[in-house]
Amino acid sequence: RGRDGWKEDSGYHRRSLAENMMFRLKQLGDRLFSRTFERQVAEAHVRVVILNGFTYLGMPRSVRAGQIAPTA
């Protein structure tokens, strides 16, 4: 089945998506600056919210063929 079969069997696509997300997360800073654990957790959450916002902004709005897309 070749490379496509190997990718399907090994879950390569999902792993690739996860590695890409970690790369983007590290682009926001490769370390945490807070000293206490609670603040580190909050700092990590803020970074994840930023990434999720960017991901949402980059997603296309798709509509079913034959329908009119909402303007807002």
pLDDT digits (tens, 9 = 90+) for 43-69: 999 999 998 898 888 888 877 777 776
In the chain, where are the structural domains located?
Answer: 3-48
For 71, the 3-state DSSP assignment is coil
Per-residue confidence at 4, pLDDT binned at 50, 70, 90? confident
User: Model pTM?
Assistant: 0.60
| Crossing angle of the two packed helices 37-58 and 12-27, in degrees rounded to 10 | 110
The pLDDT of residue 26 is 87
**Would the pLDDT of 17 be above 70?**
yes
Handedness of CA 26, 40, 45, 10 (dihedral sign): positive
